[in-house]
Amino acid sequence: MRLATLRPGGDRQSTRAARIEGDHAILLEQFSDVGALLAADGLEAAKSADGPRIELADASFAPVVPRPGKILCVGMNYGQHIKEMGRTRTSHPTLFAKLKETLIGSGEAIQLPPESSQVDWEGELAVVIGRRMRRADLLEAEAGVAGYTLMCDTSMRDWQYRTSQWCQGKNWERSTPFGPWLATPDELPEGAEVITRVNSTRVQRGRISDLMLSPALLVLYASTMITLEPGDVIATGTPGGVGHAMNPPTYLTPGDVVEVEVPGMAILRSRVEMETVSRHD
C-alpha cells in the first residue's frame, strides 16, 4: 500500500491523507495527513477506505508526514560516502536532527538561501515509524516500521562546516523534499537501490543492502535513547556521489531539477529556485 498527504485543490492550508492506486489517489477524508493516520493506528482502515478520487497527475503533494515529532538523520552510513568525504568508519551511527520547517512535498521547490553558495544534494531512503517504541529489540524494530519514503537531505556545506556540529547546515527552511508517498514494507523492492539525478544526470547510486546499519538497526538504536512515536522519521544516510566531493565541487543552482528514486517504489522530484527574501520589522 502507498499513502500520501495531498493538498486538495492545491490549498496550502488544507491537507488530506490519500491511498495511491495506479494513476489515481483516493482521499481518506477521516485523516488529515499520513502522520494523523499513523497516530490513529489507521493503516488497516486505509486499505479499504473509500473516498473521492483524483488523478495523480493533478495531485499537489505535501510532505508525506507534514509535522513529524522527530526527524533523525544518519550521516556516513554508506562506505562509499565515508571514503569520498575522507572520513573513517565509526562504531556507532552519526546522528543529527532536522526540523519540520525544512520539509517540502514532492514537486515543490527547494529554496536556495542567498546566505549559502554551497547547496548540495543527498538522496536518501527514509523510515517512517508506525508504532510507539522504546528500547526495541530487532524484531520489534522491524515490526515498528510503517513504511519507507524518500528524502533529499539538502545540505548547505559552507554553513555545515563552520563548526564540528552539522545542525546549521542541515536546517534551512523549505530545503528538504520528503515523499512523494509512504510505501509499506512489502512495497520495498528486493535489491532496492537509491538513485539521485541532477538535471537527468545520475550522480548517486547505492544499494540499500550496503548500508552499514540497516533501517531496523537504526530504529533499534534510536529507540534506545528516546521513545519513537508514530510518524517519526529516520533518514538512513546518503550514498557516494555528493557534489561537495566532486573535483571541482559542484552545487545546486536555480533551475536545476533534483530527482531521488528507489526504482519500483517512488520518484521524488523537485526543482531548485532562489528564495525570495522579505524583510520584517
The three cell numbers locating residue 170: 542541515
- Give the pLDDT score at 81: 73
Domain limits, the chain: 1-62, 65-274
What's the whole-model pTM score?
0.95
Contacts of 91 (CB under 8 A, 6+ apart): none
Rounded to the nearest 10°, the torsion over CA 107, 41, 265, 228 is: 80
Q: What percent of the chain has pLDDT over 70?
A: 99
pLDDT at residue 279, rounded to an integer: 67
What cell was used for 211?
548500508
Which triple of cell numbers denotes residue 89? 568508519
User: What pLDDT was estimated at residue 248?
Assistant: 97
Residue the block writes with cell 531521488: 260
- CATH for 65-274 is 3.90.850.10
User: Which tens digits make up the pLDDT trace of 36-79?
Assistant: 999 999 999 999 999 999 999 999 999 999 999 999 999 878 87
User: Do 266 and 183 form a contact (C-beta atoms < 8 A)?
Assistant: yes
CA-based nearest residue to 79, from 222, 252, 237, 232: 237
215-251 tens-digit pLDDT: 999 999 999 999 999 999 999 999 999 999 999 999 9
Cβ atoms 152, 176 nearer than 8 A: yes
Looking at residue 280, its pLDDT comes to: 61
Counting as low any pLDDT under 50, the low residues of the chain are: 281
pLDDT at 281: 45
- 8 Å CB contact between 262 and 194: yes
